[in-house]
Amino acid sequence: MAGFEEPDLFQVSIKALKPSTQDMVCSLLNPLKVIPTDEGLPRDWRGLAQLVGLHGEKIPQVSTNPNPTEQVLKQWQENSIGLLQKYLGELDRWDIVDDTEVLMKNDAIEYLKSVERASSSASVLDVETDKQILTRDDVIRAEKGLKPQTYSAFLLYADEDENFAMQVVDQMETKYKLKLCLRDRDLIGGLAFEHEAIMRLISERCNRLIVVVSPSFLKSEANKFFVTFAQALGIDQKHRKVVPVLYQKCQLPPELSYYFLLDFTRPGHLWNFWEKLHDSIAAPSANSRTTRDFSRTEEITIKNNIDDKFKEPTASGLPYHSAPHDIHGSALYKPRSLKDIPSDSLFTPVKQHTSSDGKRLKKSKSPSLENLKPKAWLKRFLPSSSHKKKGSKVAEGYEC
């Protein structure tokens, strides 16, 4: 390990830099500088973009990003830390070189050590995990002893729609912090069958499949095949797999015609395309599922407690509130005390004022609960077979 103390930074890739080191470089290089270098290069991220070879339509995409330096470094991962320091010197930004020199050196040492550990077990790695390495992220994670990368979605689009696809990547990865997988950007070389690798990514490592629908997309039989494959997966797994995005108006094929499409061209103040796309990709979190399950459990518990309160078992198993007008018909209904009888259910005035032979009965004022004495209460509400004696009178106006 002693040979790692003075690493050759021109032999170490930029991907060895830790996020904290990259953040420091970005924070120092993002602010725009007015005074250029002697060669006319801007002394900020724009000068670095020119030196690394970014030009044309990629510059506007980088400039609209809140962290342009990060975007430049992402598209320059295959170059070395030493070359980055050299370019910073050409931009007359020796302040950044001095502030990050120790951090870059330490990051390079740790990276080289991890590579050595990975190479020492190369035979095991080749046998056990080489088949799982499909993307560049898998290579980096394998060097650190981590499992293959999983993705929020696989982005499927036609080559002619690459500009729009880059907008999707920029919005979903930068703003919403999702992880997308792209064939041209992420797949590594040397795969025996590209279609097989994409099918494995869609089925095993990507939660969704974003389909950028356009006339160019529908001309590709390969794209149609991947859509059909993802639909079959969704049916088999009972899982919403395909998220179709309508980029350009076209005649939809049968396999996409019954989907609700996210229309990029649709106007309206209530239609936020990027938010809807994010919500369609992002799966519910474990916390939200736990909260939903807890709420449902709590709802059931509360309902059972309420039912138990009003359905306390008696000798006959009959709940108190179920026999307001037929107490005399149940000889087994025996309340324990006055407070056990709900007054709103038992003290029910008689609404029929005629006898069975059609004669009108004399109405009387209904007695109140407070004025009823215990003996009168027993005569009034308990079964006649046990308490009602011959010739006893019952308060008029109530039904026994």
The arithmetic mean of pLDDT across residues 274-299, rounded, is: 61
CATH of 145-281, one of 2.60.40.10, 1.10.10.10, 1.20.1260.10, 3.40.50.10140: 3.40.50.10140
Question: pLDDT per residue over 121-169, tens digit each?
Answer: 545 545 556 778 889 888 888 878 788 999 999 999 999 999 999 999 9
Q: Which helix (H) or strand (E) holds 353?
A: none
pLDDT digit string, tens, across residues 1-12: 445 678 888 888
Q: Are 72 and 26 in contact (CB under 8 A)?
A: no
52-81 burial code (b ≥16 CB/10 A, e <16)? bebeeeeeebbeebebbbbbbbbebeebbb
The Cα 171–Cα 177 span in angstroms is 9
Backbone angles phi, psi at 173, to 5 degrees: -85, -40
Q: Which pLDDT does position 382 carry in this prediction?
A: 54
Distance from C-alpha of 341 to C-alpha of 322, rounded to nearest angstrom? 11
Q: Which CATH architecture has domain 2-120?
A: Orthogonal Bundle (1.10)
- For the segment 25-82, what is each residue's pLDDT rounded down to a tens digit? 999 999 999 899 999 999 999 999 889 888 777 788 788 888 889 888 887 877 889 9
Predicted pLDDT at 292:
43
The predicted model gives 189-216 an average pLDDT of: 89
pLDDT on residue 368: 52
Q: How confident is the model at residue 362 (pLDDT cuts 50, 70, 90)?
A: low
* Rounded CA separation 330/336 (Å): 15
| DSSP-derived secondary structure letter, 361 | P
Per-residue pLDDT band for 237 (boundaries 50, 70, 90) equals: confident
Percent of the chain with pLDDT over 70: 66
| Of 160, 170, 125, 123, the residue nearest 143 (C-alpha) | 125
Angstrom distance (rounded) from CA 45 to CA 49: 6
Confidence (pLDDT) at 198: 92
pLDDT score of 328: 43
Confidence of residue 386 (pLDDT cuts 50, 70, 90): very low
- Report the pLDDT averaged over residues 348-354: 49
**DSSP of 231-251, one letter per residue?**
HHHHHHHT---EEEEE-S---
Return the pLDDT at 339. 52
Q: Which residue has the tokens 């295959």?
A: 78
Say how far apart CA 348 and CA 369 lie, in whole Å.
Answer: 11
pLDDT tens digits, residue range 80-126? 899 999 999 999 999 999 999 999 999 888 888 877 776 655 455 45
pLDDT(187) > 60: yes
Edge-to-edge strand list for the sheet holding 206-213: 180-182, 151-156, 206-213, 242-246, 262-263
Query: Hey, is 86 helix, strand or coil?
Result: helix
User: How high is the pLDDT of residue 252?
Assistant: 86
Which pLDDT does position 172 carry in this prediction? 94
- Higher-confidence residue: 328 or 63? 63
Task: Pick from 9-23, 116-130, 362-376 the range whose average pLDDT is largest.
Answer: 9-23
The pLDDT mean for the chain works out to: 75
Q: How confident is the model at residue 199 (pLDDT cuts 50, 70, 90)?
A: very high
CA angle 298, 300, 305 (to 5 degrees): 95
pLDDT in tens, 290-323: 334 444 544 455 455 555 544 545 444 444 444 4
